Structure 1
Amino acid sequence: MSGTEKALQGVADTLREFWAHRPVRPRAGRKLGGVATGIALRYQIDPVIVRIAFVALALSGGVGLPMYLLGWLVLPEEGDEVSPLESLTNKGHSSMSQAQTVLLGILLFPAFAFTVGSGGFQVFVTLAASVACIYLLQKNRGHLAPATLAEPPPVTPVPGAPAWDPLGAAPFAWDLPEPAPRPQPPAPRPRKPRIGLATLGVATLVVAGSAIAGIWSPWFTAPHVIGLVIAVLAAGLLIGSFTGGGRGLIWLLVPLSVVGFGMTTISFDGPTDFGDLKATPKTLAEVKDKYEISVGSLMLDLRELPDSGSVKTTVESDLGEMVVHVPKNADVTFRCEASSIGELNCLDRRADGSTVQVDGTDLGADGEGGLKIDLDVLTNVGEVRVLRD
C-alpha cells in the first residue's frame, strides 16, 4: 500500500470512528436542537465557541444553517437509541416524532440549495474547512470521554469527623492530628500554541491572493473575499478550541460576519433590493430592461401597456415570490426558471422541484397579433407566476 493510500485509509478510519462515537445532543443546556452543545461535550471544548462557529458559518455563504439541520437529523438525542433520521428507517427509537423529522428534512433541502446556489467557490471552501475541522477534532480529541453538564452531588461530612475522613469510616483514629499538606512543586505554565497569529497570517494571505486573483476573475468581489476570511477565522477558532488558543479571534470574527452579511444581503444602489417591489408601467418606454430584487416579493403589472408594439424585459430574484400580470390579448414569449428550487406557474405551464424551467409562446384570447412581450422570469429559490387576467 502506497503512502497516499495509507493516508486516505487513515482519514477514512478517523471518519468512521467519528460516526461510531458521534456526539449526542443533550436534553439540558442546549439553545435549540443541542447540536453545538453535543459537539462541545463530546470533545470537551467550550460550547460558546461552537455556537459562534455555527453562526459564523451561517453568515459565510449560509453553510452553517444546513450543517446544523443535518446535525439535528443525524445526531441522536440523549437517552435515544438512534438518531431521528435512522428512526425513519426503523433502526431504533428516537424521541423526535416522524412528522418533526420529515419537517426538518424538508427544511434542509431549500437551505442547502440556497447555500450552494448563492455561494459558489466560497461554499466549497467553507464546507472543506468544516470537514477538516471535524476530522481534526476526532483525530486529536476523539479519545476523550464526553463531558457532562451535571455536577456530582457534594459529599456531606459526618459531624466531628476530621477533614481526611469526611465519611467517618475510621472513628477510632479521629484523635490523630490532621496530616500536614504535602508541598507541591509549582506547575509549569503551559505554552499555548499561537493559533490566533497563524490564523491571521492565513487570512492575510487569502486577502492578498484574492486581490491578485481579482485581476483575472470577477468572482473575487468584496463580499466573497470577506466570506473566505470568515471561513478561515471560523476554522482557526475551531482548531484553537481544542489546542488551547485563538479565542481572541472572536472579536474579529463577529463584526466581520455582520459586515459580510450586510454586504451580501443589502444593496447600496437603492432600497428595492430587500423587501417588496411593485411596478406598473403604462408606456413601452417605461418598461425597464430588468426588474430585480434579492430577497422579498416582486410584482410587475403589464396590463396597462398599449395594444401594439413590442417590449422585452427580465424579472429576477434570489429568494421570494414573483408575479407578472400580462394583458389578455398580448402575444407572450416567456421563459420561467428556478435555478435551485421553486414552484413555477407561467401561463398555465407548471413545474416544481429542483432546477426547473418552463417556456413557450402564448398568443392570448385573440390569437396572433397586437402587443408582443418577450419575458424572462428567473429565481434562485421561490415561486414564479405569470398570469393573464
Structure 2
Amino acid sequence: MTAAPPPAPPADPPPATRPALRRSRTDKIAGGVAGGLAEYSGIDPLLWRVGFVALTLAGGSGVIVYALLWLLMPGGPRRRADGAPAEPPGPRSPVAAFTVAGLLILVGLLVLVTRYTDLDPGAPGFLASALLVVGLGLVASSFSRGRSPRGGLIAVGGVLSLAVLFSSAVPEFDDETGGIGDQSYRPTTVADVRSAYHVGAGDLDLDLSRLDVDEVDTPLEVRIDHGMGDLDVTVPDDFDVRVDVEHGVGDVDLFDEGSDSGLFRGEDGDGDVDLVLTINSGFGDVEVSRA
C-alpha cells in the first residue's frame, strides 16, 4: 500500500499592500494631509502635525510644504452615510502637476537670470512671479474637466500672497547697510564702525571686540535695526556700554545680567560711557556679550 504524500506546507501570506498616498477624509484638521501621511506611513498623525509646526516655526517652510502636499495629494475615497465606499471619483486634473512644474521652471530661470546677468528681481520678484503661476493654474483649473485642485492652489496662493506682502514691507537696503540674509561685521578701528546697521531678515553678528578704548573721544553711538533673526553683539572687555533695547519676540541676554536696558561697566571702566547701543529687534534672540 502506497503512503499518502505529506501535505504541502502552507503558502506564505501575500505581502501587505501599502495604501495609496491620499489625503484623509476622516482624520483631518486642514485638508487631511497629516492624516493621509499617517495612513500611508503608519506614523501617528500627531507627529506629522508637530513636524509641520516645527518647520513653520523654524523658518516658515512648514506652511509651504503642507500647501504643496495639499495641492499634489489626491483626496481619499468618499464614503456614503452607511459607510460603504461611494462611486470612485473621476480622473484627477493635470493642472496641479503642470502648475508645480511651471513653478520649478520659473524659479530655475530666475536663478539663472540673477546669477548670469545684472538683473536681480529680489525676494518680492521671485514670490510675485510664483504667485502669477499659481493664479494661472487657478484659471486653468476652472476650465479643466477632471477633478480640480482649486483648494490646494488657493492654499499655495494664500501663502505666497502673505510672503509677497511681508517681503514688500521689508525695506531694501544698499550694500553699505545690508538687507535680507545673514550679515557679519568685524570692524577693527573706531573709524570703521557704522552709525547704523540694518537687517530685514537674517542673523546679524556684530563683533566690536577689536576696538581700542583709547580711540574713543566721545561716546560711540551705534543703532541696530533688526527685523527677523538672531542678533549677537560682542564688545571689548574694557568698554562701558549703555544698551537700550526695544524687542518683540525672543530672548534678550545682556552681558549675562538679564534683559533690562542700562549701563554696563567694563573691567577697567571709569564709568564714562564709551559705547551706546540702541537696538530695535522684532523676532529672534538678542545677545550682547564681552570678548
TM-score calculated relative to the size of structure 2: 0.48
Greater per-residue helix proportion = 1
TM-score calculated relative to the size of structure 1: 0.38
